[in-house]
Amino acid sequence: MHITTEALHRTSPVRRWLRQNATGLLFISPWLLGFLAFTVGPFFSSVYLSFNTYDLVHAPKWVGPKNYTTLLQKDPLFWSSMGVTVKYAVVSVPLGILVGVGLALLLNTKVRGQAVFRTIFFMPSIVPTVANAVVFMWILNPEIGLINGLLGMLNITGPSWLTDPHWALWSLVFMSLWGVGNSMVIYLAGLQDIPAHLYEAATVDGANAFQRMSRITLPLLTPVIFFNLIMGIIGSFQYFTEAYVMTKGGPDGSTSFYALYLFQRAWTYLDMGYACAMAWIVFVIVMVLTVIVFRSRRRWVHFGG
């Protein structure tokens, strides 16, 4: 079993690589097996299933591209759910970045109790999504909710946040800010990575606070903003749990998100093939958007040295 260098050279590169990495592969094999069986396998089988009708019980039946053509040409719910999702993404992603960066800037200032404030703002992001949703259902209740209670003290009648089609989507956007602590921590790390001497030099050169912010802080934070933008886009196209728990797609379809419609097709109507086609369409959209953002980074992301 003792492997000499000469013997290693005689074997094929793949075998050599396997022998050299056998121990490492052995250690990660439980994860590797799980990944192959439960992620890679379903990933590729869903491509095949998207060209079939499949109800979980019977063998898939090949229908060619019909699922795709029906979705794109004959399914109004596909377009309306895509519209809701895009609307959510367009507003919630930039808003999340804005609030995340803003909070990080505030929490980066040296004040007493800084660590406590950071903990307070981070804590909501570790609350489970469903628990968050249930709490917000109460906060946003039009009659006995916290927000309308506060508005009532100002003699303002608050809207029916979750049951008025004009407000429901924006309520969910507002609620998404509750979990901004996660990205805030990353922005904070990014801020602390900015060399202090740059600020010192700028101050010596007479730059004011706004100039330091716009010429140093924000440009050097763009790699982190770039990362959170990509994650935000992916996350918003997968938005599901809050809408499933709080609004079930209502009122009047105003929160009928793409992932919710996909879930309904798959598990309520047992249209697994159709749902797989939906999943692949959204995958392609997210990939295209990611590529666009990646390509645009040369214009606005500053990687320091």
Partner 1 sequence: MEGSALDKLKAVLGAILVVVVAAYLLPPPPPELHRKNRIPVIFWHAFSGEWFPIYDGMIQRFNESQDKFEVIGVVVPGEELTTKFLLSASGGATPDIILNWDPVLGMWSDKGLISPLDDIMSPAEKQEFLRRTYPIVKRNSMYRGKIMALVDGLDMFAVYYRAEDLKDVGVDEKHLPATLEDLVALGRKLDKRDGQGHLRRIGFLPKGIINLAPTFGGKFNDNGHIVADTPGDLAAMSFIGDANHFYSFDAVDRFTQSLAADAGPNMPLIAGNFSIMFDGEWRVKQVAQYQPDLPYYLAPMPPPKGGKPNASMSAPNYLMIPTAAKEKQGAWEFAKFCVGFLHPEDGGRNMGEMGWLPDDPEIAKAKSYLAYLRKYPKYKVFVDLMASPNLEIEPQGPLQGFATDQINKAEDAVSRGESTPEAALQKVMQQLSDEKKRLRDLGEPAE
Cβ distance to partner 1 smaller for residue 22 or 106: 22
- 270 belongs to the binding site for partner 1 (CB under 8 A): yes
- Give, for 219, the enclosing helix (H) or strand (E): helix 218-237
Find the helix or strand (DSSP H, E) in which 53 lies.
strand 52-53
Of 128-136, 174-182, 228-236, 248-256: span binding partner 1 (CB under 8 A): 248-256
Q: Are 101 and 221 in contact (CB under 8 A)?
A: yes
Closest distance of CB 165 from partner 1, Å: 8
Binding residue for partner 1, selected from 115, 143, 154, 209, defined by CB under 8 A: 143
CA dist 22 and 13 (Å) reads: 14
Find out whether 245 and 133 touch, Cβ atoms under 8 Å.
yes
Among 8, 18, 22, 40, binds partner 1 (CB under 8 A): 22
Tokens standing for residue 61:
């039946």
Angle at Cα 12 formed by Cα 10 and Cα 16, nearest 5°? 85
Retrieve residue 97's tokens: 């970045």
Q: Which stretch binds partner 1 (CB under 8 A): 70-78, 85-93, 216-224, 228-236?
A: 70-78
164 counts as binding partner 1 under rule CB under 8 A: yes
Asked if 57 interacts with partner 1 (CB under 8 A), we say yes
Residue recorded with tokens 């509750």: 178
Question: Would you say 79 and 250 are in contact if contact means Cβ atoms under 8 Å apart?
Answer: no
Out of 124, 223, 235, 251, the only residue in the binding site for partner 1 (CB under 8 A) is: 251
Rounded distance, CA 105 to CA 210, Å? Answer: 13
Span 214-243, contacts to partner 1 by CB under 8 A? none
| Residue (13 or 24) nearer to partner 1, CB | 24
Give the binding site for partner 1 (CB under 8 A).
Answer: 1-3, 22-23, 26-27, 29-30, 33, 53, 55-58, 61, 63, 66-67, 70, 74-75, 141-144, 160, 163-165, 250-253, 264, 267-270
